[in-house]
Structure 1
């Protein structure tokens, strides 16, 4: 799913009115009607008090369309105008008059904090105060209104975006933003729904189709794309009946050190479980017995040294290589890694201490093959790209780092983001159960295993992140967040693959 920028949404609105020969008022009517349909489907005429708070711009106009339909349908609705400015948009004024024509109770004008209505926890708040075009500081009394919403504990539904939240810049004052229970977003979700510092302002979101021009939707390229099941399906490469292991590549996992051999085991198991034809683990001698006894499907090569890797030397031709899981940052290991990079031509995934070695020796970055995949957690990312002031600054620095070094950067988090130059792919699978030791090692193995099968580096990254999260989503139904461990994610990879082709009705049946 595409995530359109603010400017692209404005362009989409303009093209829609031109190509469909409708007015902006007509498009607003569509938007407000879709919101009404969403609410009406769920309330079915229930007489719960609905407080619709409208600003004086186009977002407020959407709210007024909604209010009019709610009134005509007989709902218990009270409409308020949040009068933060003397300016009104044309479409707001048109719909203000339309609301007045269908009720004897005209909208209530709010001018300051002394006029706030009483709102009970069982009421519903509709937030239509500010939209994506907010370009002014939020007035102090309006901030108090937003705090009033939150203190009421009422269900709060925001139209398009929680009021006060900007699409392209950080939020410095939490009281200046509505904390929405649910947001109905037009055309596409907003980037801020997925960033660590701003996702908290809407607990849930849904996209409403308001009939924007189909050519605009299909032809417009976006810098950010949302990856879910239906974006993952086209990436999947099916297998033929007469295929054999030689067709699915050979993954080499270089990792482990004394006390951290488990990381190499997890990555190796994940690579094989995701479909690599062969997997070899390259570990220090201390890992030989552990891997041979716990993971018989793997082959093992050992370093000459017992505790850590000192010399990366092998006589096989791997299809893809992973380096760094549990490897440590011993001086000899760093030297071995540098020597390895000078001769390696195979596709490469680097994680954990491999990233730490790169961060401490930036000159090694020029030795990486094009489209090498790096999978840092937040602190490792900071060591690579430097500190950032906010989520937007972080993304810009990640893009720059990707372009300058010709690498793919996977920013791990609740919504893991894969960065390739100016393009970002935001993952939607996964859950808090992945906050556990070894889950990153599993992700490294999954991506390496996909590379081995012939997936290109970007597809392996995006698909691997999705499968990793989806496996955890299925596993957590059996284990819960607290008891989920990295091995469970590997065990449920098959279920994640199978889920790709389950129809919605089949999934619902299995849940029941």
Structure 2
């Protein structure tokens, strides 16, 4: 998995690479510019388009100058650079690249104040104004400059990070930075790119390798770890000869109600297809026909007026919540399960019960897994103004309660008792349909039943669930939950090869 760094740590990685590779800082900047241009050219291959490059006087601006030089050398004949002269300071590498650009006869305008910007005509904008060290909203001329660029209504490519966007930490409610189409970032994505608020700063982002010392980066301390396919392959265990249904555990899914049996069926289907040896669905009597018709392999435990689970210890994994409904009976059922001291997978209406029964939070068995979306999380742990603070709370509660919190998002955050936060990169908007969370719950439960730890089960489930959705989204515009559940065995097979 990739260690994600703060902006300060990334600067340290720059310095370490320069000192130990060894490579001159100006040459490292040239490598970054080449990586940017390679990505940019794949999107903007028309060399006749007018390109306006806005360059501050720090190293981000130095990157922009080097990019301008390379674009000219690569056949882009209509490049113009705007040097943003709002400060007397300039970096050494900026000065070197400015001299090189002057010698190339590139068109350069120096902008001493935002009011100097008038009648700029361009097809594409490259933003290289400010780097990743900014941690406050833009003010003064910088704010006016960015406002002008955004009003151009042109496709903007940001160098490493959009100007005005903080690489980590709280994202201001009134974001007033660059609104980029694409950000091409160096070596690692910014931590804040994984929060929904980043959508106002960049539609998409791509990470390009610029040759920083990977060993140094991976050794840096960070709570944020980006999952990769090799991590999943290293955790998954192929099925062995002479194993049997008992080898892969007995999972109990407590779900569904009179009008919400679909949630129970989806969770049970996902649990079955993910490989639990035995699956029992604890459902209302009214759902038995649907269960027997759709999933004959799944056993039933009728739940009408049931407020306890007899002999809960016989199940290797228990999930509760999808489509369950909030009622006094279900309240008592959840409370009785918590007292069994057996780790649970808690989702949907079981989370809603926790939201109105804060006394139960402290009773959560160690290594239980909560799978809330944003609103469910805030009902349990209080309102949050932004995703950064929400994630800090998730990390703190996972440690304090010794549980796993799967905070669902476009990029799902998996917070574990040791303090780390794993970021899952798979999944896509085509999966934005009802039932996806029910399927995820079933997948997590199946992995626990098979003997994986709670943290491993959450990591495997989130990645594989999203990966299946990504595969399906390549063939269709909308991906439904049942299709994801059915494709999971094939994805596990591929990952085990």
Short-chain TM bin: over 0.9
Q: Report 1:29-68 matches (<5 A).
A: 29-40=30-41, 46-68=47-69
1:118 corresponds to: 120
Per-residue deviation, residues 139-179 of structure 1 (Å, max 9, x unmatched): 34433433333333332111100111011233436562111
1:507 corresponds to: none
In structure 2, relative to structure 1, the CA distance for the partners of 1:69 and 1:146 (3 Å cut) is: same
Contact 2:114/2:144 (<8 A) preserved: no
1:509 corresponds to: none
User: Alignment partner of 1:46: what SS?
Assistant: coil
In structure 2, relative to structure 1, the CA distance for the partners of 1:315 and 1:81 (3 Å cut) is: closer
Q: Hey, what's the Cα distance between the residues in 2 that align with 1:284 and 1:74? A: 69
In structure 2, relative to structure 1, the CA distance for the partners of 1:154 and 1:299 (3 Å cut) is: same
Long gaps (5+) in structure 2: none
Q: Report 1:272-311 matches (<5 A).
A: 272-303=272-303, 305=304, 308-311=305-308
Per-residue deviation, residues 357-398 of structure 1 (Å, max 9, x unmatched): 222222323332211100012211001111112111111111
2:424 corresponds to: 427
> How many residues are aligned here?
494
2:380 corresponds to: 384
In structure 2, relative to structure 1, the CA distance for the partners of 1:209 and 1:441 (3 Å cut) is: same
Q: Hey, what's the Cα distance between the residues in 1 that align with 2:142 and 2:366? A: 51
User: Alignment partner of 2:180: what SS?
Assistant: coil
1:356 corresponds to: 352
Q: CA deviation at 1:224?
A: 1.4
Higher mean C-alpha displacement, 104-113 vs 160-169? 104-113
Q: CA deviation at 1:444?
A: 0.5
Contact 1:228/1:429 (<8 A) preserved: no
Contact 1:443/1:468 (<8 A) preserved: yes
1:442 corresponds to: 439
TM-score of the two chains, using structure 2 as the length reference:
0.92
Q: CA deviation at 1:40?
A: 4.9
1:27 corresponds to: 28
Would you identify which runs of 4 or more consecutive aligned residues in structure 1 move more than 6 Å? none
Contact 2:326/2:353 (<8 A) preserved: yes
Q: Hey, what's the Cα distance between the residues in 1 that align with 2:435 and 2:114? A: 53
User: Alignment partner of 1:134: what SS?
Assistant: coil
2:104 corresponds to: 102
Q: CA deviation at 1:487?
A: 1.5
Q: Hey, what's the Cα distance between the residues in 1 that align with 2:379 and 2:50? A: 52
Contact 1:192/1:198 (<8 A) preserved: yes
Contact 1:447/1:461 (<8 A) preserved: yes
2:91 corresponds to: 89
Q: CA deviation at 1:234?
A: 2.3
Q: Hey, what's the Cα distance between the residues in 2 that align with 1:104 and 1:427? A: 43
Q: CA deviation at 1:500?
A: 3.6
1:510 corresponds to: none
Contact 1:84/1:139 (<8 A) preserved: no
- The one of 329, 347, 365 equivalent to 1:332 is 329
Q: CA deviation at 1:114?
A: 3.5
User: Alignment partner of 1:312: what SS?
Assistant: coil
Q: Hey, what's the Cα distance between the residues in 2 that align with 1:150 and 1:405? A: 45
